[in-house]
Each structure stands twice: as C-alpha cells, then as structure tokens.
A and B are shown apart, each in its own frame.
Chain A
Amino acid sequence: MLFRCLSKEGFRDLVEMTLETIEVVGPKEIGRDKDDNPIHHYLPVSNPDELDFDYATTEYSAKTYFLPFQENLSTYRFDEDDWTQDIRYRIQPRAIIGLHACDINGLLKLDKVFARDFFPSPYYISRRENTFIVGIDHEPCEGGFCRSLGTDTVTHGFDLFLTDLGDRYFVAIGSDRGFGALQKVHAREITDEDTHDYLTERQRLAGLFQAEVPVHDLGTLLDIEFTSEVWEKWGRKCMSCGSCAMVCPTCYCYGVMEKVSMDFERGVKQRQAYSCNLVDFAEVAGGHNFRPDSTTRLKYRYYHQHRGFVEIYDEPKCVGCNRCGRTCLAGISPVEVITDLQMDEQT
C-alpha cells in the first residue's frame, strides 16, 4: 500500500475541492441525547467545518447510501393495454468522508453479497463505484465489540484512510482515484518520523480496543444451542420493530413491492429495506408463517449473522458496531445475547 502525509490545511482543501464537484457526506451532529451526548448521522455537508470527526458512532450506518431504505428498481409506463419498463441506475458521484473501519468492513461484507459471485446487483455496484470513500482512525466507541470480530482495522474497500497525527494526517491510499485526489492537494511523501508517529498512534489505538465477547466457534455453538432457553429469554422481550436491522451496517434483507400512480399512467417497482424480525417476514400464501413468534425470528437474525453468512462467505455478517444494541428499546444487546449463549453451553 502507498502512504502519503497530508497537512490539516491540505485536507481542508481536499474537502473543499470535492465539494465543488460532488456531494460530500460525513458525520454531522444532529442533536443531543438525554445525557447530553452528541448524536451523529452521516449527512450531506456544505463546508468542511460541518464534518465532525470527533464522533464516537452514528445512529444509522452509512449503508443507506448503498442500499437505501427505499429504491426504485424500475418504473412502468402504461399505455393502452401495454407497458414499457424503464430502469435507471444512480450514477451521480458522491464522497463519504470519515467512515470508521467497522463501517468500511460492513461495506466489504455487502460487496460480497451484492457485487460478486452470483447475480451481482447493478444498482449496488453503480452506487459503490460512484462513491469516493475516506476512512478515519478513531478511539473505540462505547459498547462496540469490533475487536472481537476483527473489524477494528481495514486494509481495503476505501479510497483514502486517515490517521490523525495531531498536526497532520497519515494517509493510506486504497485506489488510483485516491492517489489522484492527494496529488491535487500536494500531499507529500512520508518521512521516517511520519511512519514512527503513525505506528505509535496505531499501537495506542490498538491498546484501547478490547475483545468483548468470544465469537470463535459461534457457528457451531448456534447449532448446538438451537433450542436454548436463551432464545426464549431474549426473544420474548423483542417487540419485532425491526429497528436493529435498519441501523445495522450489514443487514440487507428486503422486500419488493409495486405501486401505481394516482392517474394510473405509471407503476413503480420498489425495493424496501426489511427486517427478519418483522412478523410477516417469512409468511407465504395461504397464511402460513414459517417464523410466527418473535423468539424464532430473533434467533434467526443471530443465526444468519454468525452461522449462515459464515457458511457462505467464511466470515460473520456482524462488524460489532453495537448500533443494534443501542437502538433497541427492549434492551437486547448482542454482547449479552452472545455471552449468554456461551454461558449456556458451559452449564
């Protein structure tokens, strides 16, 4: 990998120049919670000062810029007894600046589902290719367990990745696009001092990240614990609201539905984010529901993340950001659920 060093002013120039040509999205404070902690979202910004890199986490992940909650797959124009189908892919470039390693790892997992092996999705690929991604190192957020899942660092999937060295950024370059952008703002070659400071900072950060939950062998454990009481305990609390899947950087289940315009001239086929915790997720014609109660649905969500996904892609679907835990009104925390399962097996 190539590295460069960029002054803070240089970085500011980079953001400003980017803003002149394309939309820039980044962590932005949108309010405070009841304990007066700032709440951040990834939102479009209009100047570099709106980017708040001092954020712990965002309420929602950046997934929505790649898999929007709602997306038109195609539109139909009706004409007498016939119709024509029109399909558009989003091709406007956009930059997302300030993603943490876990979120970039989340995108890498989505890439495996939507951009590889079988039926690659032109909708996703188009959004992904048109997004310029700048990641940034940070101190661990409270409750996150990325370290346990090996997603606290990232080596690809971005254009640029910044490490803050106080007066300057140490920049890892992940694409020729990123290389080109750095040239425009005269980033300089790294010196021995830069490397030294970078390694020191990396070491400091690494020391702050602790593995919270043991997740190795979780797949096998889930098989063994398929009928565990643990699912009863947590599943009964679940209100089947689906919020956990909405905020999650890797949950990608969806539903497709169609609508007709009021004048009956147009129809639209839409992809809509869904959650496997919603009651009708697995209901089929005739009214049969393969997962009628919240317990089996919650279990299924964990099963997909730590067993099903692993079987296909050799890694869990979860990046340990704990957004689902923070957002859940029923207080269902992934760390506690997994810990309970581990305990259950030992007793």
Chain B
Amino acid sequence: MKNLFQPYDVSLESEMLEPLDFNRRSRLKETDRCFKAEILNVIRLTDMEKLFQVRILDESEGERFSFLPGQFVMVEVPGYGEIPISISSSTSRTGYVELCIRRAGIVTGALHRAKRGAHIGIRGPFGTHFPIETMKGYDVLLIAGGLGLAPLRSSIFAVIENRADFENVHILYGTKSPDQLLFDYQYEEWGRIDDIDLQVIVEEPDNEWTGPVGLITKLLDGIEIDPQRTFAIVCGPPVMFKFVCSRLSEQGMPMRRMFISLERRMHCGMGKCCRCNIGSTFTCMEGPVFDYWTVMNLKEAI
C-alpha cells in the first residue's frame, strides 16, 4: 500500500513554482505568501490618517506588481493581522505604492506606530478598478467625501497625468471640518493644472477657512453637467455617495456611468472567506468598484 499512498506535495506543482503574481487569478499559487515590503516614508496627513510609502523589497517582485486605480491590497502586519487598503498612488509610479491609512483599530494602530524602515507584508492587488480607459473622451467628475479621497486619488492621478484624453474635469472634495482634509498640500498642484476645476468644501469651517461651506452636493450646484457626456467616480461613506449619485441621476446621468467603491469586512480578498458578501456578490472579487446601477440592484447593499 505504501506506494499507493505517496504524499502529494502541492508546493511542487509547476504553477506553484512560477513567480507569485496575484493578477493571474486562475493560477495555483501560494495565496497567503505576502510580498515583504519596507515602509520608505510616513507622512502625517491629519490626526487620524497617515500616508505610507511602501516598497516591495524583492526587485523582481516589485517590477511584476501592477495595479489599476480603485484596486486594493491586503496589508499584513505579522503578529497583528491583515486588512484591506486601497492603493492611493498613481499607477505610473513604479518603485513604491502609497497607502493612506486611518487609525481605526489593531492593525491600523500598529501601522501608525510603525517607523520608516519597518517591514510589512502586502498581497494583491485585488478587486475591480475604475474604468479610466472607457472614460476617455468624456467629461469627468471625481468626487470624494472624507477618507474617500484615499481610493479616489489613484484615479485623480490617472486623469491629470493624461489630461488631454478627457474633456472637462472636475475634482470635488468635502469633509466635515478643515482639519480632516487629506492631501491638502496637493490641492495647489492639482488646481494649477490647466483646465482642472478643483473645489473643496467643509461642513463645519474654522476661523481660517475661506472656502465654501456645506455638503458636497452644494458644489454640484455650480457645475454645468452634460449628462450624456459625463462619467463620475464617487468615493465616500454610503450616505454621501447615495446623495451624490441620486442627485446626478436626477440630472439625467445614466447610473451605469457612475462608479463607487464599497467597503465590507474582508479576510481574504480572494472570494473565499465570504465576509465581504453582499447577497450573492463578493465585494472583493466583483467589487470594490461597482457602477451605481449594480449597487442599486444588490440586496442589502446600502
């Protein structure tokens, strides 16, 4: 019987021996092997959020790693846990990725304590992306509320780095108060790019605030939208994207041309653990980026 029951060693399968690449979804791979990455820089954005510049240590792994705007990675702090985080940097930036992380609990807390030079793990990229290519030739509305700027930022880069490919571009951003604004040092730069309309609004201004005050939808009042010629990406909490999207829909924009990113609890990123399941949809596989029509049709989505 001995030769009948030879141990089968999955790690010797030819697909397992190929370089690890999460973009090749159907291939057998070491699903829980992470790329070891070094925190190159930590940039404090607000009291709650920090931006981490992270480089995959192994050069060939780093070169193979490619993502599209809206996708996320699973960030692992060994011994603490693993969490989903959107990639916040430009797809054209090679060498490192940027992750904008709010301190919310155990893993994010550990990250906030981590210093430059620390080693973390990342797996991915996972999930769907914003359809930047399809948006070419159209007017573009990029709208974020609060931490929603983190998942939107990669798309902002994709649009401004290829400005000529798009018609009118509006970037609208709103938070509760001025001290919660993320990436404030970049508005200047984005706003100066010829023909990009950047507007920022807060709900509760402080003494120094000179900009507009109110909800994000107020910024839409001042914008001329050609519903048939426009795409929108809306990132933020559910109440916010619901308001914005139904408003745009009233103005005649097809729901298929509005895109949002959903947040769910995620423990794998690979359509296995079911934690991100909405009715029958895996947010990690069929999302996190969805068009608004699809979201409207998801049972228990919002």
Contact = CB atoms under 8 A, between A and B. Distances in A.
Given A91-B7, A122-B30, A307-B280, A256 B1 contact: no
A285 interface: yes
Nearest to B117: A81
Given A303-B280, A307-B280, A89 B264 contact: no
A312 B30 CA distance: 24
Question: Majority SS of interface residues in chain B?
Answer: loop
B83 to A, nearest CB: 8
A296 interface: yes
Interface in A43-89: 73-74, 76, 78, 81-83, 85, 87, 89
B26 A130 contact: no
Interface string A271-288: 000101000011111100
B188 interface: no
A93 B7 contact: yes
A21 B274 contact: no
B176 interface: no
A283 B8 contact: no
Contacts of B8: 91, 93, 126, 129-130
Nearest to B285: A118
B79 A118 contact: no
Given A122-B28, A290-B300, A269 B280 contact: no
A308 B26 contact: no
Interface in B264-295: 264-265, 267-268, 270-275, 277-281, 285
Contacts, number: 163
Given A93-B8, A252-B274, A17 B33 contact: no
A258 interface: yes
Nearest to B34: A85
Nearest to A181: B4
B79 A76 contact: yes
Contacts of A95: 5
A95 B16 CA distance: 25
B29 interface: yes
Given A87-B32, A282-B265, A286-B104, A253 B285 contact: no
Contacts of B285: 118
A253 B275 contact: yes
A255 B25 contact: no
Nearest to B280: A308
The size bracket of the interface on A is 35 or more
Contact of B275 (A74, A117, A260, A281): A281
A177 B4 contact: yes
Given A130-B7, A256-B82, A258-B79, A181 B267 contact: no
Contacts of A205: none
A38 interface: no
B59 interface: no
Contacts of B299: 223, 226, 303
A347 interface: no
Contact of B5 (A22, A85, A281, A283): A22
A28 B271 CA distance: 35
B280 A282 contact: no
A122 B29 contact: yes
Contact of A284 (B102, B263, B272): B263
Nearest to B5: A93
B265 A73 contact: no
A337 B5 CA distance: 44
Contacts of A78: 78-79
B187 interface: no
A113 interface: yes
Contacts of A339: none
Interface in B86-129: 102, 104-105, 108, 117-119, 121
Contacts of B102: 285
A87 B33 contact: yes
14 contacts: A22-B1, A74-B33, A85-B34, A87-B32, A89-B9, A118-B25, A118-B26, A260-B79, A281-B275, A283-B265, A290-B264, A290-B278, A307-B280, A308-B281
Interface of B: 1-2, 4-11, 16, 25-26, 28-34, 36, 76, 78-82, 102, 104-105, 108, 117-119, 121, 263-265, 267-268, 270-275, 277-281, 285, 299-300
3 closest A-B pairs (Cβ-Cβ)? A308-B280, A267-B79, A119-B270
Given A181-B4, A257-B81, 20 more contacts: A21-B1, A76-B78, A91-B7, A118-B26, A118-B285, A119-B270, A119-B271, A126-B10, A130-B8, A253-B274, A253-B275, A254-B267, A258-B81, A269-B32, A284-B264, A285-B105, A296-B300, A304-B274, A307-B279, A308-B280
